[in-house]
Structure 1
Amino acid sequence: MTETTSALRLPTYYLSHGGGPWPWMPSAAPAYAVLDASLKALRRELDERPRAVLVVTAHWETENFTFSAAERPGMIYDYYGFPAETYEITYPAPGLPSLAERAAGLLRDGGMAANVDEERGFDHGTFSLMQAIYPEAEMPIVQMSIRKDYDPALHVAAGKLLAPLRGEGVLVVGSGLSFHNLRAMGPQGRDASRAFDGWLQRALLSEVGEARADTLLEWEKAPAARQVHPREDHLMPLHVAVGAASQDKAHLSYHQDDFFGAITASSFRFSDAPLSVS
């Protein structure tokens, strides 16, 4: 990949990816209508068509940051209790080994350990989002793992090192969920999700650059932080996206206060260009 001018620099995103293989489940359509519309709007609103997408996925944890380098990634059905047919779905988008090597090289050049994995398939944190955004499955995709230690500073630092990809036609997407407590996905999670989401919006929308990153490093001090994220696996992709965003402003690209009937959830776009909430 060759570097393009900064005028063509793509946004970064932190996207709430929903649950399981929802785009393949007609019965889930009403519950996911708002999220689905926001993801379709994302594609329309991109200033330039990406050459590839780098998905930082909450569903892949490794000792060191690792990038998927399979040319034709398989499927990882990392969900439970869904209809039998959802364990046979495919999302046949190509991988892009050259991007995996480029991304790993950027981290290594910055003094950070990084690996590539030539076997890793797509997990649902990737294929569910991409099915909604790119249903034709032609966009090349590389996945990036999060670290098992959940160190927020390292995830922000990794994002900073990956920022040059934005000028090379690569869309950087942090795939997680702004509320991720599966035992409280209902009325019992209402108040905690709203409190945390309010803090998250203030932290992301009112600050930029180092100030915003520093606030995220202290995320455990947020209201209801550990009620919303008992484990921070679904939050760490945000830290990578924020690191890659640098001084770009955040915009709310998805917001819902009745997800699963009660939960507040949001997604964010980081770009100098404004974006209306869908």
Structure 2
Amino acid sequence: MALEPSPARNFFAGLGTRLPRPRAILVVSAHHDAAHGGGRATVTASPHPPTIHDFGGFPDELFAMRYPAPGDPALAQRVVDLLAQHGLSVIADPERGLDHGAWVPLSLIYPEADIPVVQLSIASGASPEWHHALGQALAPLRDDGVLIVGSGSITHNLRAYFTTRPAIDAPAPAWVSDFTDWIADRMAAGAVDDILHAIERAPHGRDNHPTPDHILPLFVAMGAGGDPLRAARLHASSTYAVLAMDVYAFGEEAGRL
């Protein structure tokens, strides 16, 4: 998405002008996984987080990219405090930077890299409910001008991609679109429990998420949006057929975007 034209890239490149400008951004990335069995989040606390190139086999141009947004140690401490108040374990990491789950979309949404960014991990050993509770605990940050972003993927089966190597603009097969349509329906119905258990309940859930890591950030964002669930599907497309790129907004403001 950082390099190649696609509907998702075009959407993200225009999203920043639609959003109220935040004072800071908190990104929950599927690629920052504090996989401790009981659930423990890790938050970046560096004042100058480096750009992490946590991938291989891609063009040199991608490895040359940097996203030099400042960090926000005070926001990181606020995250620690909020989660502690809700009995959620979290540690601050003063060294870790921003992985591609954060800097790729942000480089399109806010290309000037002039808004402070803090990144919070998932914990793939913890439950969907734990991640939803994480978001609920962080909801007060929205009133402080913080944009909370869940960065994963609504479908994420890389084996299916590498097996078939579809074209970038190939249409999604039914096993992908059936899943994303089910998510959209459950979002519209406010069916939080169904969405939290989409891998088990949705059509082709495990085909689209052989591992849970890329759907967990969605649950955090949902929780941060408040109760009852208010969701707006801002974008829907597929890249390479099997990688659906749906984007949702949550909260009272979602319907105005």
How far apart, CA to CA, are the structure 2 residues paired with 1:183 and 1:275? 37
- DSSP-derived class of the 2:130 partner: helix
In the other structure, the counterpart of 1:36 is 9
How far apart, CA to CA, are the structure 1 residues paired with 2:172 and 2:8? 19
Q: Which digits, 9 at most, give the CA deviation of each residue in 1:94-121, with x for residues without a partner?
A: 1101101101110001111111110111
CA RMSD of aligned residues (A): 1.8
- DSSP-derived class of the 2:246 partner: strand
1:203 aligns with 2:186: yes
How far apart, CA to CA, are the structure 2 residues paired with 1:271 and 1:243? 9
Q: 1:203 to 1:215 in 2, by over 3 A?
A: same
Q: 1:181 to 1:262 in 2, by over 3 A?
A: closer
157, 165, 177: which one aligns with 2:141 = 165
TM-score normalised per structure 2: 0.89
Q: Which runs of 5+ in 1 are unaligned?
A: 1-21
Q: 1:189 to 1:261 in 2, by over 3 A?
A: closer
In the other structure, the counterpart of 2:42 is 66
Query: Is the Cα contact below 8 Å between 2:43 and 2:91 reproduced in 1?
Result: yes
How far apart, CA to CA, are the structure 2 residues paired with 1:114 and 1:245? 21
Alignment of 1:1-278 (within 5 A): 22-23=1-2, 25=3, 28-29=4-5, 32=6, 34-46=7-19, 48-62=20-34, 63=36, 64-185=40-161, 186=166, 190-207=173-190, 212-219=191-198, 220-246=200-226, 247-256=228-237, 258-261=238-241, 263-273=243-253, 274-275=255-256
How far apart, CA to CA, are the structure 2 residues paired with 1:213 and 1:41? 29
Q: 1:45 to 1:189 in 2, by over 3 A?
A: closer
How far apart, CA to CA, are the structure 2 residues paired with 1:156 and 1:70? 26
Q: 1:58 to 1:272 in 2, by over 3 A?
A: same
Q: Which runs of 5+ in 2 are unaligned?
A: none
Query: Is the Cα contact below 8 Å between 1:172 and 1:241 reproduced in 2?
Result: yes
Partner amino acid, structure 2, of 1:190:
P
- DSSP-derived class of the 1:116 partner: strand
1:42 Cα offset (Å): 2.4
1:192 Cα offset (Å): 1.6
Query: Is the Cα contact below 8 Å between 2:42 and 2:121 reproduced in 1?
Result: yes
TM-score normalised per structure 1: 0.82
1:263 Cα offset (Å): 4.9
How far apart, CA to CA, are the structure 2 residues paired with 1:180 and 1:60? 16
Query: Is the Cα contact below 8 Å between 1:194 and 1:263 reproduced in 2?
Result: no
How far apart, CA to CA, are the structure 1 residues paired with 2:218 and 2:248? 9
Query: Is the Cα contact below 8 Å between 2:160 and 2:242 reproduced in 1?
Result: no
Deviates more, 1:266-275 or 1:63-72: 266-275
Q: How many residues align?
A: 243
Higher relative contact order (CA 8 A, sep 6+): 1
Q: Which digits, 9 at most, give the CA deviation of each residue in 1:121-164, with x for residues without a partner?
A: 11100010100001111110000000131410100011100000
Q: 1:232 to 1:262 in 2, by over 3 A?
A: closer
Query: Is the Cα contact below 8 Å between 1:197 and 1:265 reproduced in 2?
Result: no
Identical pairs, percent = 37
1:213 Cα offset (Å): 2.4
How far apart, CA to CA, are the structure 2 residues paired with 1:167 and 1:35? 28
Q: 1:149 to 1:215 in 2, by over 3 A?
A: same
- DSSP-derived class of the 1:127 partner: helix
Partner amino acid, structure 1, of 2:58:
F
Question: Which stretches of structure 1, 4 residues or longer, exceed 6 Å deviation after superposition?
Answer: none
Q: Which digits, 9 at most, give the CA deviation of each residue in 1:176-225, with x for residues without a partner?
A: 01110001134797222111101110111221xxxx32222322211100
How far apart, CA to CA, are the structure 2 residues paired with 1:193 and 1:43? 28
